[in-house]
Amino acid sequence: MGVVIPLEDNKNKQASVKPLVDLTASDMERVNQLILSKAGSDVQMIPEVANHLISSGGKRLRPMLTLAAASMFGHEGDAHVKLATSVEFMHTATLLHDDVVDESDLRRGKSTARTIWGNQASVLVGDFLLGQAFRMMVDVGSLDALDVLSTAASVIAEGEVLQLSVAKNMETTEDDYLQVIRAKTAALFAAAAEVGPIVASASRADRNALKSYGMNLGLAFQLVDDVLDYGGSSSDLGKNIGDDFREGKITLPVILSYRRGTPEDRAFWREAIEGGASDAANLDKALGLIRRYGGLADTIARAQHYGTIARDALAPLPSSSWKSALIEVIDFCIDRVS
Amino acid sequence: MGVVIPLEDNKNKQASVKPLVDLTASDMERVNQLILSKAGSDVQMIPEVANHLISSGGKRLRPMLTLAAASMFGHEGDAHVKLATSVEFMHTATLLHDDVVDESDLRRGKSTARTIWGNQASVLVGDFLLGQAFRMMVDVGSLDALDVLSTAASVIAEGEVLQLSVAKNMETTEDDYLQVIRAKTAALFAAAAEVGPIVASASRADRNALKSYGMNLGLAFQLVDDVLDYGGSSSDLGKNIGDDFREGKITLPVILSYRRGTPEDRAFWREAIEGGASDAANLDKALGLIRRYGGLADTIARAQHYGTIARDALAPLPSSSWKSALIEVIDFCIDRVS
């Protein structure tokens, strides 16, 4: 006789970010206060632009990582709150600059700051937030944390420039692409997680564990984002399917489908991505090719690979609600596409 | 009987930056090496863009200030070299972003990076240099120096946003304008000078003296730049006369001429600056109005006022070749227009 599993139960088994959200709720309240206060300025346009993006409904996963990674090693006080806010500001500054670089009009379903206030304000308010991020780090006073986060700032920018260089070049390999997302996305996840044990005065092994967790979570997160761009629905994601395609961005689903395709398929990709032939009919064709060559499924498989590494990075740590919550976040990130 | 003063002698009395250049020459050699090394990256576009600007013949006044302000208090070692390089990178990052914000095509007589590599690379390489600047500061390990320079980074960006807000608004007052240039230009001069005594472990009074010197030198420097834009020659300055006018930038010569003019004059300025009527005929008319109302002479008088404050800031310090060189730089900056 079979066991009847009610649908609700099944749904509850879906990995969730909720344990992490609950555990960090009171500290995130302090982060949110600090965000508002440090994005403030007598120059009215600064809080306007900053709050537009800050209040636009991002999950604030990165600052939650910092808070959890400090608290799990017994940190109390407010250093982790300041560093978490710094991390979120670094992320926000990157988004402001990215929208200018990508000439994007929509982010998370809202008009980008650059379409409302112009490229100028987006560049400069990004610079301001980066400056404020560094001031908060300096205020915390940990040279180790400053080292980790300032290195991340350089690496992120380097990754973005590298992305420009590989842009619209269909010969980009999976390795090239990994180098880009390791720098532009995963480095900040890694830094966000590593500064937790640093301010908690945890061991070097603990620092390395959290850094590896963050790095691999970041890779999984970005790969899933790439899949969503070819598979999510516009209302879920706040952006349209095919944004990456229309911008000529090369992501792993495209790389896999290009390399696995026939010479005719490859000619199509070059015309679409390098030549800018990215109308709706060509997007349909691209989606068909990506499906035919398993581009989405295999990108998800890669994400799972990095997710497993992230999980193993935390394996030696003692069991705790913090550890469980961080591990569940790995599955949550990957489950967004399943 | 009169004394005949040969023309050459007279010319030699002209204040010069040479004493400062000579005193800092060997340290500047180390700064230049560090600039090349820290602007390096495996991502080829980064050193290309960075070196385009770095090698474009700026005077490197700011890093020389840092070196002199450290050496005059007996600092030895390499902390001042790293901080001087950080200061130059912060400045270069600002220029890269400024050219994007102002949509400038020429800087110091050369095409701007954005016209060669695009706005994207200019934004991102600027971000990279800022990240590298912070890494070098962290490497020095002085939280006081980090505090001064990270605060300057925020203030500079805030000043640039403020400049956007007052842009093309003819009701901008001299006070509004001073607030802009204090933030966008003078704050970095002040920070460059203040970190010298910090790494030399000099007294709080010495820090304040150098900070005040830098701040007021920066104000004088910017005011003279504003005058040069309406009075220098294109070949001297690497930019054309009237660039500020064509971009609708409001500077002190314009503010003075507007406020002192007749209602008809003011209508002209509004049309030219706010309305964008900035063709060659209108530039000629603007130059005539600025001359008629003493806009250049009185802006130079303001620069001399701040120059005097800068000089008095250093007055309590013991005589030394460093002190003389720094004082001569004040006159050198102002003499550029006389």
What CATH number is given to the structural domain containing A148?
1.10.600.10
- Chain B residues touching residue A46 (CB < 8 angstroms): 158, 161
pLDDT tens profile B39-85 = 999 888 899 888 887 777 678 999 999 999 999 999 999 999 999 99
Angle, CA B155 vertex, CA B59 and CA A162 arms, to 5°: 70
In a domain, B183, yes or no: yes
Question: Is residue B6 in a domain?
Answer: no
Enclosing domain of residue B32: 17-335
Is A141's Cβ below 8 Å from some Cβ in B? yes
In whole angstroms, what is the distance from residue B71 CA to residue B50 CA? Answer: 28
Whether A124 and B101 lie within 8 Å, measured CB to CB:
yes
Which of A86, A122, A138 would you mutate first to test chain B, the one with the most B CBs within 10 A?
A138
Verify whether the Cβ–Cβ distance B119 to A119 is below 8 Å.
yes
Residue B110's SS3 state is: strand
With respect to residue A289, please indicate whether it lies within any of the assigned structural domains: yes
Query: How close does chain B come to A20, measured CA to CA in Å?
Result: 30
A43 → closest Cβ in B43, B125, B161: B161
- What does the mean pLDDT of chain B come to? 91
Our CA-based measurement puts residue A153 at a distance from the nearest CA of chain B, in whole angstroms, of 5
pLDDT at A217: 98
Contact between B153 and A127 using a beta-carbon 8 Å cutoff = yes
Determine the pLDDT at residue A12: 47
Give the pLDDT band of residue B108 (cuts 50, 70, 90). Answer: low
- pLDDT at site B99: 86
More confident residue, A110 or B324: B324
In a domain, B161, yes or no: yes
Q: Which uninterrupted H or E stretch holds A323?
A: helix A321-335
- Is residue B125 less than 8 Å (CB to CB) from chain A? yes
Q: How far is CA A39 from CA A52, A78, A122, A157, B235, in A?
A: 11, 18, 14, 22, 42
A-chain residues near B44 (CB < 8 A): 165
When scoring B134, B172, B176 by the number of chain A Cβ atoms within 10 A, the one with the most, hence best to mutate, is B134
> Is it the case that residue B92 has pLDDT exceeding 50?
yes
What's the pLDDT at A225? 93
State the DSSP H helix or E strand holding residue A111, giving kind and residue range, or none if neither.
strand A110-111
pLDDT at B13: 67
How many A/B residue pairs have CB atoms within 8 Å? 135
Q: Which residues of A touch B165 (CB under 8 A)?
A: 43-45
CB contact under 8 A, A135 and B124: no
Question: Does residue A3 lie within any of the structural domains?
Answer: no
The residue of chain A nearest to residue B152, with distances taken between CA atoms, is A131
Q: Are B244 and B227 in contact (CB under 8 A)?
A: no
- Taking CB atoms and an 8 Å limit, are B120 and A46 in contact across chains? no
How far is the CA of B299 from the CAs of A122, B237, B239, in angstroms? 32, 18, 20
Query: What own/partner pairs with CB < 8 Å and gap ≥ 24 does A43-46 have?
Result: A43/B158, A43/B161, A43/B162, A43/B165, A44/B165, A45/A117, A45/A121, A45/A125, A45/B161, A45/B164, A45/B165, A46/A125, A46/A128, A46/B158, A46/B161
Among A132, A157, A165, whose Cβ lies nearest the Cβ of B128? Answer: A157
| Residue pair B123/B97 in contact by the 8 Å Cβ criterion | yes
Q: Which residue on chain A is closest to B140 by alpha carbon? A: A143
Of A195, A187, A181, A190, residue with least CA distance to A79: A195
The beta-strand segments (E) located in chain B are 106-107, 110-111
Average pLDDT over residues B11-37: 90
Q: Return residues 184-213 of A near B (CB < 8 Å).
A: none
To the nearest whole Å, the CA of A128 is away from the closest chain B CA by 5
Any chain A CB within 8 A of the CB of B165? yes
B contacts of A120 (beta carbons < 8 Å): 100-101, 164
Nearest CA in chain B to A147: B138
Torsion of CA A97, A100, A102, A108, to 10 degrees: 80
Residue B146 has pLDDT above 80, yes or no: yes
Give per-10-residue mean pLDDT for chain A (338 aa). 44 81 96 94 88 80 98 96 97 92 77 84 95 98 98 96 88 95 97 98 98 98 94 54 88 96 97 92 95 94 97 97 98 87
Contact B138, B126 (CB under 8 A): no
* Furthest C-alpha separation in chain B: 70
Our count of domains for chain B comes to 1
Region of poorest pLDDT, from A77-86, B50-59, B188-197, B309-318: B50-59
- pLDDT value for B7: 43
CA–CA separation, B130 and B143 (whole Å): 17
| Cβ–Cβ below 8 Å for B128 and A101 | no
A-chain residues within 8 Å CB-CB of B43? 158, 161-162, 165
* Nearest chain B CA: its distance from A102 CA (Å): 8
Cβ <8 Å between A134 and B132: no
Structure confidence by residue, pLDDT tens digits, B228-279: 999 854 445 455 688 889 888 999 999 999 999 999 999 999 999 999 998 9
B164 close contact with A: CB closer than 8 A:
yes
Check if B124 contacts A (Cβ < 8 Å): yes
Say which residue, B216 or A235, is predicted with more confidence.
B216
Q: What is the pLDDT of residue B102?
A: 81
**Is the pLDDT at B6 greater than 80, yes or no?**
no
Is residue B129 in some structural domain? yes
Is the Cβ pair A45, B165 closer than 8 Å? yes
Question: Is there a domain that residue B218 lies in?
Answer: yes
Give the position of tokens 């420009």: A164
The rounded percent of chain B whose pLDDT value lies above 70 is 93
ipTM exceeds 0.85, yes or no: yes
Cβ contacts of A147 on chain B, cutoff 8 Å = 135, 138
Residue among A97, A121, A155 minimizing CB distance to B164? A121
Say if B2 falls within a structural domain.
Answer: no
Nearest CA in chain B to A100: B120
Dihedrals phi, psi of B110, to nearest 5 degrees: -110, 155
Per-residue b or e along A150-176, where b marks 16 or more CB atoms closer than 10 Å to that residue's CB = bbbbbbbbbbbbbbbebbeebebeeeb
- What is the predicted pLDDT for the residue at B234? 42
Confidence label for B14 from pLDDT (cuts 50, 70 and 90): confident
Is A298 at the interface with chain B, CB within 8 A?
no
Q: What digits encode the pLDDT tens for the residues B118-142?
A: 888 999 999 999 999 999 999 999 9
